[in-house]
Structure 1
Amino acid sequence: MKMKQADITFIAQTYNKSLKLIGSLLESKISDPRVSFDMFMIMHFIEEAGSEPITLSEIADAQEVTKSAISRKVGTLLDLGLIEQESDRVDRRKKYLSLTTKGHDLYKENDKVFRDMLNEVSDKFGKDDFLKTLEHVNSILEIIKKTAE
């Protein structure tokens, strides 16, 4: 069945109201206005790595973006003193990222805000329905990625 113009309009409106709005709302909750939601997500991947070293390339792969897109944001996080990087002892070109104490504190503070928001959505929408909806969105995104190849 072919998409009608009204369907396309609905998709465009849903995109604008969902992904863009969610991103800007989440970003507005970050306690440091210099930190974008994308930067917060970089900090999230570093935090989740724990004591395991993580590289810029690994974060780019996990976020499915280019290294250059992550690199600019990493540069800002370094300038803000929220993360630090250390060169590999064997391959000096390889840089491992970690949160500074300041970065860890900012991450923990904002992680709680986001978890509280997501818990509220989950409580009101229903956890199973919420997760199922996100699974559907991910399935749609995978199909779209394949059609773009």
Structure 2
Amino acid sequence: MVEQEQPLLDAFIDVYMNSLKYLDEFVSEPAKEFHLSFEQYLILRDVTRNEHVTLMDIASKRQVTRSAISRQIKVLLKQGYLQQRPDENDRRRLYLLATPEGAKAERVIRQRINKRFQGWVDVYGDDRARQILQFIQDFSQVTRMKK
């Protein structure tokens, strides 16, 4: 690395240590009362927004393994936020459904997340928020291409 690039690297490390690594905690905080991670909330959100959702649908959408989603769904089932219903035509196919408690939890968490997000937009403004989003999308795309 060229010596003049070192301050830039140090600045990136500093931002990571003091800000970015806490972003997940900041984002997942609205779901804590319901003992859910942000990922579990997103699954619950998908189920409440769509009919006939299966574990495989969620795994495909998130581009992760079936077992990774299965672990998350087990928590949602155990906590009573989701239930499974077999397809009438193919009993092996299980649809995920939100329970009334799950629908309520999703609604409350969504309202809290919307409030937090609106706070970000209020601070940065719509244009700056879109620029930040575009940068994160670009960064993600470049990172995936380098794998």
Q: If the length of structure 1 is used for normalisation, what is the TM-score?
A: 0.84
Question: Is the 2:40–2:76 Cα contact (8 Å) retained in structure 1?
Answer: yes
Identity of aligned residues (%): 24
Q: Greater CA radius of gyration, 1 or 2?
A: 2
Q: Report the secondary structure of 1:4's partner residue.
A: helix
Correspondences of 1:121-136 after superposition (within 5 Å)? 121-136=120-135
Q: Shift of residue 8 of structure 1? A: 3.5
What is the number of equivalent residue pairs in this alignment? Answer: 145
What corresponds to 1:11 in structure 2? 12
Q: How big is each residue's C-alpha offset from its partner over 1:47-69, in whole Å with a ceiling of 9 and x where there is no partner?
A: 222xx211112222322322211
Question: Is the 1:31–1:110 Cα contact (8 Å) retained in structure 2?
Answer: no
Question: Is the 2:80–2:99 Cα contact (8 Å) retained in structure 1?
Answer: yes
Q: Does the C-alpha gap of structure 1 residues 7 and 68 become closer, same or farther in structure 2, counting only changes over 3 Å?
A: farther
Q: How big is each residue's C-alpha offset from its partner over 1:25-82, in whole Å with a ceiling of 9 and x where there is no partner?
A: 2322325352111111111111222xx2111122223223222111101001000000
Q: Shift of residue 90 of structure 1? A: 2.8
**Are residue 76 (structure 1) and residue 75 (structure 2) matched?**
yes
Alignment gaps of 5+ in structure 1? none
Q: Report the secondary structure of 2:36's partner residue.
A: coil
Question: How far apart are the structure 1 equivalents of 2:94 and 2:22?
Answer: 34
What corresponds to 1:45 in structure 2? 46
Question: How far apart are the structure 2 equivalents of 1:91 and 1:14?
Answer: 51
The one-letter code sitting in structure 2 at the alignment partner of 1:39 is Q
Please report the RMSD computed on the Cα atoms of aligned residues, expressed in angstroms: 2.3
Q: If the length of structure 2 is used for normalisation, what is the TM-score?
A: 0.85
Q: Does the C-alpha gap of structure 1 residues 8 and 69 become closer, same or farther in structure 2, counting only changes over 3 Å?
A: farther
**Are residue 55 (structure 1) and residue 61 (structure 2) matched?**
no
Which structure shows the bigger proportion of residues in helix conformation? 2
Correspondences of 1:30-41 after superposition (within 5 Å)? 30-41=31-42
Q: Report the secondary structure of 2:33's partner residue.
A: coil
Question: Is the 1:31–1:106 Cα contact (8 Å) retained in structure 2?
Answer: no
